[in-house]
Amino acid sequence: MTLPRCRGRVISKIQLIFLNKASITNSVNFGKFNNAKYEQLISTITADKQSTKARYQTMQQAAKLVAQQQGVTPIYQTAAAHLISNKVGGVHFTLLRDALYRYAYWK
């Protein structure tokens, strides 16, 4: 299968996968978003019966609709467990990167 193009850019399946996350039929729709118009737009996109330009516009409509109606999709949050001796202090933990041992010290 060749991927359709719009303005020289490939409309990839990745874009559709991203949009499909909000579909009620998707197992990762953790927010339980359910909108009949959105489902109809996704069905139109996946049917692959539109021209490339029309398909791209339909994808834009679906993205706009889900952004207006749902707002946020809870996908996942990383977590880590750390076992630190009570004789160590000054270790800082963040959600965005590994523990900061720069200011660690022995108590």
* Burial status of residue 2 (CB atoms within 10 A of its CB: 0-12, 13-18, 19 or more): exposed
Give the span between the Cα atoms of 60 and 40, in whole angstroms: 14
For residue 73, is pLDDT > 50? Answer: yes
Please list the residues that pair with 89 across neighbouring strands.
Answer: 105
Give the span between the Cα atoms of 30 and 51, in whole angstroms: 32
Q: What is the pTM of this model?
A: 0.55
How high does pLDDT run on average in the chain?
79
Residue pLDDT, tens place only, 74-87: 666 667 777 889 99
Sign of CA dihedral 69, 35, 12, 28: positive
Give the span between the Cα atoms of 25 and 8, in whole angstroms: 31
Which pLDDT score, from 0 to 100, does residue 88 have? 93
Sign of CA dihedral 23, 26, 28, 33: positive
Predicted confidence band of residue 3 (pLDDT cuts 50, 70, 90): very low
Placement of tokens 């060749």 in the chain: 2
Name the residue ranges covered by the structural domains of the chain. 5-69, 77-107
H/E stretch holding 3 reads none
